[in-house]
Amino acid sequence: MTDDTHLRAELYLRGDTYGTFDAQQQVLNRVKRLEANGVFSESMLAGEWQRIRTMAEDKRSGALATYEEFRDWADRNSHSLEPAFERRTRSYVGLDRVEDVVVFPVVSLAMYDGSQLQGVFPCTDEDRTYTVGDALEAFERGDADWLAQFDSVTVGRTHPWLEPGVDVTP
């Protein structure tokens, strides 16, 4: 990375899953190592989100605001957040209520330079899926140009929406 790039890694984990803790911790440890090696100027566990969120459930957590930023980035890059993120409707048996929901992935990584969202992983284009592992591997091998394949979007913030954010600095 260049001296004038200040990459911030925001890692998002889903807390309501079983059997994924070890895999999530491995990703978290890789992010910590990259920060310790100076690849990222800052890294954080940006928050824990639940599997499904509706607007009514998301008044304080910011999960859907984060998703909307991620979706803006994906649209700008002609990418999709699906199948890792899924937007659909949910209905209730015996009720006339139908809600729009977002289903969140087990792990997601967003890369920022200041208030510029540089990349969201996982994401897909017409040809391939870019996983969290792909992004981390590029940073681990020192590929300074890997993020340049994506266009950034301005998000107007320098801290995660989700609260409380936990600093993962070693």
- Kindly list the domain boundaries of the chain, sorted by start residue: 7-157
Antiparallel, parallel or unpaired: β 52-54 and 86-91: unpaired
Distance CA 121, CA 57 (A): 24
The alpha helices in 51-169, defined as continuous H runs, are: 63-76, 132-140
pLDDT of residue 169: 32
Among 114, 120, 134, smallest CA distance to 8 is for 114
- Angle at CA of residue 52, ends 96 and 164, nearest 5°: 130
Give the model confidence (pLDDT) of 98-143 as tens digits.
788 888 999 999 999 999 999 999 999 999 999 999 999 999 999 9
Calculate the average pLDDT of the chain: 85
Q: Can you count the helices (H) and strands (E) in the chain?
A: 3, 11
The H or E element containing residue 148 is none
- Angle at CA of residue 104, ends 45 and 113, nearest 5°: 45
Percentage, residues of the chain above pLDDT 90: 55
